[in-house]
Structure formats: structure tokens, C-alpha cells
A = this chain, B = another copy of it.
Amino acid sequence: MKKKKQIIQTAIISVFNKCKLVKFATGLLRNNIKIFSTSGTRSELNKNNIQTYHINRLTQYPEIMNGQIKTIHPKIFGGILGNKKKYFDVIQQYQILTIDMVIVNFYPFNNIDKNIDIEKMIDIGGPAIVRAAAKNYKNVIVITNILDYEKVLHEIYNTNSVSIKTRLQLAYKAFDYTMNYDYNILKYYSSKMKSLYANQKKHFFPKQLNLQYIKKQKLKYGENPHQKSVFYIKKKNSFTGTIGSFKQLHGTLLSYNNISDANIALECVNQFDKPACVIVKHGSPCGAAISKNIQISYLLAYNSDPISSFGGVIGFNNIIDDDTIRLILEKQFVEVIVGPEITPQGLQSIQKKKNIKLLICGYCNKKNISSLELHSVNNGLLVQQNNIVNNHIHDWVVVSKKIPSDLEKKNALFLWKIVKFVKSNAIAYGNNFHTISIGSGQTSRIDAVKIANTKYCSEYKKIDCKKQNIIMASDAFFPFRDSVDLASVVGVSCIIQPGGSIRDSEVIQAVNDHNISMIYTGIRNFKH
């Protein structure tokens, strides 16, 4: 037996956002729906010659306390919550008019100036009436988003009613709306609390973590083609120079790995003031350099590991020019290029290659860096402060007999900033402000050194092995002296590492044996 259609006869409208209101209300009247509205909404409609009843027709009670209390009345909530059949007697007794439709939105309690005391803007009646309507969605249509006006009117025109599917969807949106409204209030109260407890620790890991993101875009797929994936960004949209702010100016649909790698490339180059380039593959830099311009930086980074660079993600911290683009296209196949901006000619050159994805993110304001990193595990979430440490050369300690030169120190700082982004265990070799070879992702440190050695002496590179003064950076301490012994074979002259092993004295002995200088930073840089 088909259920009888619910004819819509009455609507309550009380909106802060009055866009599209006139057209919508006109549509309701055309369908013989009686409109009750609160003062502000009513005067807006009146201005446009749309006749509505004042809400106090339902309540026989005035709006009091500057409109704070206008809809909060048993007759209104009875009219929304009361199923006509179930509560027939009550409805009769208290002369309640059943409400079929509720259209409400509130003052948007986000993007607010946290210095103003705006508690008085918190809506109480609005969320209550929306929640009541959403609770009784089988009998009441609730609209909280002006984008739904047209769809609902369309259904009413065509069917004289609104389907249960649509009603449920609208109710879902309504609770989503009230939840978010309270979330924004909560953030405001949280900031008030923080200023009250000003001396408390800076990083606040709450007992309950509430995270909100908005969908930026669907991705081609996740880490693998059989995994679906989506990219979300933070709600507050003021973060140029980070991956959250990218605009894709060219290329096909991005994948999970593209964004993950582009993030690493951007974070890495944004450490430098000089024109920098880093090439990332499988979540780890395979080449990096700083120099007087990004074209040279790219060439140096590429030469560090031409094999791994194939299909990589290339990041820059400076405007990308046509010469650099042309050099990249000549040298290699590239998946993604990411940087702050691009010249028109550079863009034209890229547009000739349909498979290159170009992401432009603007220049980085250091304040835009996320302060927390999230990593999900099975049924849990690891949350940590991000690894932002000021690298002060004057905090370093030289522990070897040999003292590094100023140039070696500067190179050591460069490599230290690179090795921080390489998957652990990580070893980076370099000189003249570019990497020479990188050993990454090893479960024991000696293996990372072996890889760095092998790559350095690789037949693919035309460097005369053993002749150069190599700087070596290690993301964590050496557990034994073997890594130093092995490094000495290829001509390492200076090592930078955190220090802190129980066998540090053995390691220091090794550098002294090989006449290598060694710097302790005191900071470990694992990255997984």
C-alpha cells in the first residue's frame, strides 16, 4: 500500500543569510504554503512584497531580550515535533499548529576575530529549532543551506511533496550544520581558555581530538591503484607556500603519492633563502642543491642521482622560469613540478607535455606551517609536533681533533637540512651545496652508508671517486665506528650527526684515525 503524500501547508523561516530568500519564499507561496517568520526575515520579505505572518502569531508571545528569544516556545516546538496522528489530542488541546517546513540559518560563528567578545552572537533558538525539525524529518522538511532551496522547490512543484530520501539528506545536513556551529563555538571558547591559562604549555593535546577538514579534490588513487583516495585541507584557508594551497595549472589528476612527495619537496626547499631545488622519489629526496639560480640548482640536484630522478617530483622555492623547464624536459621524465610561481613562458613549455603535473603554491610564510603531524595506525592516531628546529651553527659542538672549515660548516648545514627529509636510516653525501649521493630507508645505519658509497661511485656518474672532500650527514648517531671507517674510503672529510651513542668515544676515535672532522648537533632527525 502506497503511503499518502504529505501535503506541505506551513513553513517557518528565520534566516541570517538572506540570499535567494525572496525567490524561494515566492515559490513557497505559489504552492499555497503559509509562511511564519521572525522580525528580520519578515521585514526583508515585506520589502519585496511577500506577505508572511509574524512568528508570534503562533506563540502569542513577543520576541524578547533583543531577539534572543523568539522561537523558543512550546507551541512552536510542539508544532514541529508533534506528529499529527500521535499527538492529536495535545495538538487540539493546546491549539498547536503543525509545522511542515523549517528554513533556518545562523550568524556564521567562524572566521571571527578572537579578540571581540562575541558570545552574544551565539544562536540558541536557531539550532534548537533546526534540531527539532531534523529529528522529526519524516514529517518536517528542514533547510539549513541556501543551496538546497531550488532542489526542494523543484520537488514540491513536481510531486506536491518532498521524498523521504531528500528529507533524510536535509536532516543529515541539519545536524552537520549544528555540530559544526558548536565546533566553531568550541574553538572560540578554547581560545578564550588559552588566554586565561596563558602560561600553560604551547602545544595542547586535548583529551578529545576533534579534527575537521574540507575536501579539496578526489585523487587519481591512493598509494596504489586499487585504493581510493581524497585530499582534504584545513578549514582555515590562509596558508600559501604549503601543499594545502596548491593550484594545479597543468596536467592530469593527481595521485596520493604526488601530493605526499610534493609536500616533502616544498617543505624541504622552503628551508632555504637561496634558490633551491630538490627531487623527491618515493617520499625521499634523491637529489638537492642550492645555488645562484634554480636552473643550476636543478642540474646539480639531478646529477646527484639521475636514475632515481626519473619520474620524480621536483620542487623549487623560487619562480620557475622557462630555461629551467626546458632543461628538465631535456634531461628527464618528470611527474610533478611544484613551486611558488611560474613565468608565462615556463607555463607554455609545460603545456606542451600533457603528462607533467604543475602545482603552484605561492610563497611560504613560515607561520603557515602546520604545527601537528598526524599518522593513522589501526584504530588509532599518532599525533606529534612537527620537526621544526632552528639550526644554529653556534649550538654545534666539534668533537674531532680536526676542525671543520667555515665552508665545510656551511655545507654541513645544507646537508643537515636535506638529510632531515630523507627516510631513516639516512646518510647524505655532498659538497659545494649539492648532494652527491643519498642512502635512505635502511633498517641498519651501516647499510645506508654502503648505499651512499655505492651510489657515489656509481658508473652512472662521471665523478672521480675518492678525490673530493665529501661532507657526510647522518640523521641519527652511529652505533659503531664501522660507518665512519666505510665513509673514509670514499674521501669523506667532515661528518655532521646528532651524537649520543654509548659508543661515541669509539666513533670519535675513528674520525681522528681518518683525519675527519665531526660536528655534533644534539638533534636527531628520524623520518619514517
Residues of A in contact with B (beta carbons under 8 Å apart):
59, 61, 64-65, 68-69, 72-74, 77-78, 81-82, 87, 90, 94, 119, 122, 124-125, 127-128, 131-132, 134-137, 164-165, 168-169, 171-172, 175-176, 178-180, 182-183, 185-186, 189-190, 192-193, 196-197, 203, 205-216, 218-219, 221-234, 239, 242-245, 256-257, 259-260, 263, 266-267, 281-284, 286, 305, 307-308, 310, 312, 368-370, 372-387, 389, 423-425, 438, 440-444, 446-447, 450-451, 454-455, 479, 523-528
Inter-chain contacts of A168 with B (CB < 8 A): 189, 192-193, 196
The distance from the CB of A470 to the nearest CB of chain B, in whole angstroms, is 19
Q: Are A441 and B440 in contact (CB under 8 A)?
A: yes
Q: Nearest B residue to A458 by beta-carbon distance? A: B447
A81 and B65 within 8 A (CB): yes
Cross-chain contact A232 with B209 (CB below 8 angstroms)? yes
| Contact A284–B441 (Cβ < 8 Å) | yes
> Across the interface, which residues of B come within 8 angstroms of A182, CB to CB?
131, 175, 178-179, 182
A143 to chain B, nearest CB (A): 16
Please, which residues of chain B bring their CB within 8 A of the CB of A131?
122, 124, 127-128, 182
Min C-beta distance of A366 to chain B, whole Å: 11
A443 and B284 within 8 A (CB): yes
| 7 A–B contacts from the bound complex (CB under 8 Å) | A69-B77, A175-B189, A211-B211, A224-B524, A228-B385, A229-B384, A281-B443
Which 7 pairs between the two chains have the least Cβ-Cβ distance?
A: A441-B441, A244-B379, A222-B384, A308-B443, A263-B377, A179-B182, A229-B384
Q: A380-B244, A381-B374 are in contact. Are A185 and B175 (CB under 8 A)?
A: yes
Q: Which residues of the partner chain B approach A128 to less than 8 Å between Cβ atoms?
A: 72, 124-125, 127-128, 131
Contact A243 B179 (CB under 8 A): no
Per the bound structure, the CA–CA distance linking A384 and B137 in Å amounts to 33
B213 engages A209 (CB within 8 Å): yes
CB distance from A524 to the nearest CB of B (A): 5
CB contact between A77 and one of B124, B259, B440 (< 8 Å): that residue:
B124
What copy number does this chain have within its complex? 2
CB contact between A528 and one of B65, B211, B260, B386 (< 8 Å): that residue: B260
C-alpha gap A308/B448 in the complex (Å): 12
Distance from A125 Cβ to chain B, minimum over Cβ atoms (Å): 8
- By a CB distance below 8 angstroms, the chain B residues around A282 are 423-425, 441-443, 526, 528
Please state if B389 and A226 are interface contacts (CB–CB under 8 Å): yes
| Chain B residues with CB below 8 A from A245, complex form | 379
How long is the Cα–Cα vector from A216 to B168 in the complex, in angstroms? Answer: 35
* Contacting pair A78 B69 (CB below 8 A): yes
Bound complex: CA A74 to CA B179 (Å): 24
Given contacts A82-B65, A179-B210, A209-B212, contact A384 B223 (CB under 8 A): yes
Query: Given the known A-B contacts A224-B524, A382-B229, are A193 and B169 also in contact in the complex, defined by CB atoms under 8 Å?
Result: yes
How distant is A426 from chain B, measured CB to nearest CB, in Å? 9
**Across the interface, do B440 and A442 meet the contact criterion of CB distance under 8 Å?**
yes
Assuming A205-B215, A383-B230, A440-B442, is B186 touching A172 (CB within 8 A)? yes
Q: Please state if B179 and A186 are interface contacts (CB–CB under 8 Å).
A: yes
Closest CB of chain B to A365's CB: distance in Å?
11
Instruction: Output the nearest chain B residue to A307 by Cβ-Cβ distance.
Output: B444
Task: Name the distance in Å between A284's Cβ and chain B's nearest Cβ.
Answer: 6
Q: Which residues in B have their C-beta under 8 angstroms from that of A196?
A: 164-165, 168
Question: Within the complex, what minimum Cβ distance (angstroms) separates A448 from chain B?
Answer: 9
Taking CB as reference atom, which chain B residue is nearest A523?
B226
The answer to whether B214 and A208 have CB atoms under 8 Å apart is: yes
Given the interface pairs A72-B128, A224-B525, the reply to whether A216 lies near B380 with Cβ below 8 Å is: yes
Of all chain B residues, the one with the shortest Cβ separation from A270 is: B378
Among A73, A131, A211, A377, the most chain B Cβ lie within 10 Å of the Cβ of A377
A307, B213: Cβ atoms closer than 8 Å: no
Q: Chain B residues near A134: list those with CB within 8 A.
A: 189
6 new A-B contacts at CB < 8 Å, known A64-B94, A124-B128, A308-B443: A69-B74, A210-B210, A219-B382, A256-B384, A259-B380, A305-B444
Please report the C-alpha to C-alpha distance between residue A376 and residue B454 in the assembled complex, in whole angstroms: 33
- CB of A63 to closest CB in B, whole Å: 9
Q: Which residues of B contact A207 (CB under 8 A)?
A: 214-215
Chain B residue with Cβ nearest A128: B128
B208 near A215 with CB under 8 A, answer yes
Chain B residue with minimal CB distance to A425? Answer: B282
Q: Report how far A127 CA is from B135 CA in the complex, Å.
A: 13
Query: A225-B524, A442-B441 given as contacts; is B378 within 8 A of A376 (CB)?
Result: no
In Å, the complex CA distance between A301 and B425 comes to 20
Residues of B within 8 A of A94 (CB): 64
Inter-chain contacts of A119 with B (CB < 8 A): 135-137
A416 → B minimal CB distance (Å): 13
Q: How close is A31's CB to chain B, nearest CB, in angstroms?
A: 25
**A307 contacts which chain B residues (CB < 8 A)?**
444, 446
- Find the B residue at minimum CB distance from A241: B378
